[in-house]
Amino acid sequence: MTQPSSSPSPVEPSIDLSNPGPAITPNEPAPSYVKLAMRNMVKKGGQSLVHFGLTVVGLLALLVGLAYLTR
């Protein structure tokens, strides 16, 4: 019995190519995912700050709630 030789392909994150930024010469490596994420975060600054704020408030509420329950 033979098993299929094709392995599932990893899911690649989608990258917004509508504004690729400066042209990349063949000698330069492609920008890293971190660099692309930072560029996208700067482009959507307000939304990123709101999400960061909500995350901080949620984590603080979780920690305070756990501290209250375990006192």
pLDDT tens per residue across span 7-46: 555 665 566 666 666 666 677 778 889 999 888 888 888 8
Let me know if residue 61 belongs to a domain. yes
In a domain, residue 7? The reply is: no
Residue 5 lies in a domain: no
- Does the residue 38 lie in any domain? yes
The count of domains in the chain is: 1
Instruction: Please state whether the predicted TM-score (pTM) of the whole model is above 0.85.
Output: no
Instruction: Give the SS3 label for residue 27.
Output: coil
Q: In angstroms, rounded to a whole number, what is the distance separating the alpha carbons of residues 68 and 66?
A: 5
For residue 50, tell me if it sits in a domain.
Answer: yes
Report yes or no on 48 lying in a domain: yes
Tokens read off for 57: 């408030």
Residue range of the domain that includes 53: 33-69
Is residue 17 situated within a structural domain? no
Q: What is the dihedral of CA 38, 31, 33, 14, to 10 degrees?
A: 100
